[in-house]
C-alpha cells in the first residue's frame, strides 16, 4: 500500500498530489498503521460472499461490515480466508451498537468468530443511539451507554483486538449519493443529478458517481462506497487519473448550502447529550 503523503482537508493539496495517489494509497494514522483511502462498503448484498470475493480480486484491501448487515460478517470471513490474501494485508472494519460495556465486548467476540480473525483494524460504534430509547433524544441512556461502549472499545484495543484505529482519519460512507435510492421517493435527494456534478462528469468523461467520490478524496476523506458487481467495484477505484478544477470543486462543495446535508436524515450527534 502506498502512503498518502498529503494533508487532509484541502482540495488544492490533493489536486497537486493527484499523480502520486492511486487506488492502493493509504492514510497514515497518527500513532502508526495505514488505512486504505478507498475501501468497500459492506452493507447488505444479495450474495455478499461473491461481492467480497470479487472485491478482493479487484484489489480492495479495506472492507467495512457490521453485525447488522445480516450474514455479511460470516460471508466476508469465508471470502477472505479462501482468497489467498494474507490477513496482514487486509484492513477489516466492523461495528458494535451503543449497547453498553459487556454487550459491546460480547458483540466484538461474535464478530471476530464470524470474520475468522483474532483482531479488527477498525471497530466503530454503530450509531450513538441506545435503541430501546431511540425516540427519546434526551434520554440519559444514550450518553451513559455510549461511554460504557467506548470503554469496551478501548479495552479491546488494549487487548490487541482493536489494532489500527489510533490516529484521526475521516471516512465517508454513503458518499456515492445512492442513499438506498431515496432519490426515487424525493427528487431533492438526487445529489448526483445536480448541475455541478453532471457538468464535471461530462467534462471529464466520468460518471457522476466517480465525480462524487473524487471530490471526497480531494477533501482528504477516506471512502467506502458500496458496490456489489465487479464492474462497479472497478469503476469506484478509477479515480486517480484526473483531478477536478478549483471551480468544479467549489461548485460541488457549495451544494451543501442547498441541502439536504445527509440523505439518511440522521440527527445531529449533539442532540444526544
199/252 Cα distance (integer angstroms): 10
Q: Residue 106's pLDDT is what?
A: 96
The burial of 66, by beta-carbon neighbours within 10 Å (0-12 exposed, 13-18 middle, 19 or more buried), is given as: buried
- Cβ contacts of residue 272 below 8 Å, gap of 6+? 128, 129, 137, 142, 143, 146
- Cβ contacts of residue 102 below 8 Å, gap of 6+? 152
Beta bridge partners of 63: 40, 92
Say which residue the cell 469506484 belongs to: 236
Q: What is the DSSP string of 200-228?
A: HHHHHT--HHHHHHHHHHHTT-EE-----
154/258 Cα distance (integer angstroms): 39
Q: Is residue 264 annotated as a catalytic residue, yes or no?
A: no
130 known ligand binder: no
Q: Is the dihedral of CA 153, 157, 163, 168 positive or negative?
A: positive
Q: Which pTM does this prediction carry?
A: 0.80
- Region class of 73: left (phi > 0), else alpha (psi between -120 and 50), else beta: alpha
114/73 Cα distance (integer angstroms): 6
Give the chain's mean pLDDT.
81
Residue predicted with more confidence, 12 or 160: 160
Q: Residue 178's pLDDT is what?
A: 59
At 144, is the pLDDT very low, low, confident or very high (cuts 50, 70, 90)? Answer: confident
Q: Which three cell numbers stand for residue 180?
A: 438506498
**Structural contact between residues 105 and 157, judged by C-beta atoms closer than 8 angstroms:** no
Q: Residue 12's pLDDT is what?
A: 38
Through-space distance between the first and last CA atoms of the chain, rounded to whole angstroms: 39
Report residue 67 CA to chain centroid gap. 15
**pLDDT tens profile 57-112:** 999 999 999 998 989 999 999 999 999 999 999 999 999 988 889 999 999 999 99
**Crossing angle (nearest 10°) for helices 246-253 and 195-204:** 150
78/52 Cα distance (integer angstroms): 9
Say which residue the cell 488544492 belongs to: 12
Q: Which three cell numbers stand for residue 201?
A: 462528469
Given 69, 119, 162, 272, the catalytic residue: 69
**Least confident among 58-67, 102-111, 159-168, 231-240:** 159-168
Assigned CATH for 46-130+138-167: 3.20.20.100
CA dihedral 250, 28, 268, 14 (to 10 degrees): 0
Report residue 192 CA to chain centroid gap. 19
- Give the helix ranges, DSSP H, for the chain: 11-16, 48-58, 72-81, 101-115, 140-158, 195-204, 208-218, 230-235, 246-253
Average pLDDT (141-145) is: 75
Domain locations in the chain?
46-130+138-167, 170-267
Say which residue the cell 450509531 belongs to: 127
Amino acid at each position: 500500500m502506498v502512503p498518502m503523503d498529503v494533508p487532509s482537508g484541502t482540495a488544492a493539496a490533493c489536486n497537486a498530489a493527484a499523480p502520486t495517489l492511486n487506488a492502493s494509497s493509504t492514510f497514515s494514522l497518527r500513532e502508526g498503521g495505514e488505512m486504505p483511502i478507498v475501501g468497500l462498503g459492506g452493507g447488505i448484498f444479495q450474495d455478499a460472499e461473491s461481492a467480497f470475493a470479487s472485491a478482493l480480486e479487484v484489489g480492495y484491501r479495506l472492507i467495512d461490515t457490521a453485525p447488522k448487515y445480516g450474514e455479511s460478517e460470516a460471508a466476508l470471513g469465508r471470502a477472505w480466508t479462501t482468497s489467498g490474501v494474507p490477513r496482514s494485508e487486509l484492513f477489516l472494519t466492523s461495528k458494535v451498537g451503543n449497547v453498553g460495556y459487556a454487550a459491546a465486548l460480547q458483540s466484538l467476540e461474535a464478530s471476530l468468530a464470524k470474520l475468522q480473525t483474532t483482531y479488527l483494524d477498525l471497530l466503530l460504534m454503530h450509531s450513538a443511539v441506545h435503541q430501546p430509547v431511540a425516540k427519546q433524544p434526551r434520554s440519559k441512556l444514550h450518553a451513559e451507554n455510549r461511554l460504557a461502549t467506548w470503554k469496551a472499545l478501548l479495552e479491546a484495543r488494549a487487548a490487541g483486538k482493536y489494532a489500527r484505529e489510533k490516529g484521526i482519519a475521516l471516512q465517508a460512507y454513503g458518499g456515492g449519493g445512492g442513499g438506498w435510492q431515496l432519490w426515487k421517493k424525493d427528487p431533492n435527494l438526487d445529489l448526483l443529478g445536480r448541475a455541478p456534478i453532471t457538468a464535471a462528469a461530462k467534462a471529464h468523461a466520468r460518471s457522476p458517481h466517480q465525480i462524487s467520490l473524487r471530490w471526497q478524496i480531494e477533501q482528504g476523506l477516506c471512502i467506502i462506497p458500496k458496490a456489489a458487481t465487479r464492474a462497479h467495484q472497478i469503476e469506484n477505484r478509477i479515480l486517480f487519473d484526473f483531478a477536478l478544477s478549483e471551480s468544479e470543486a467549489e461548485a460541488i462543495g457549495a451544494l451543501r448550502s442547498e441541502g439536504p446535508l445527509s440523505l439518511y436524515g440522521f440527527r445531529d450527534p449533539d442532540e444526544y447529550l
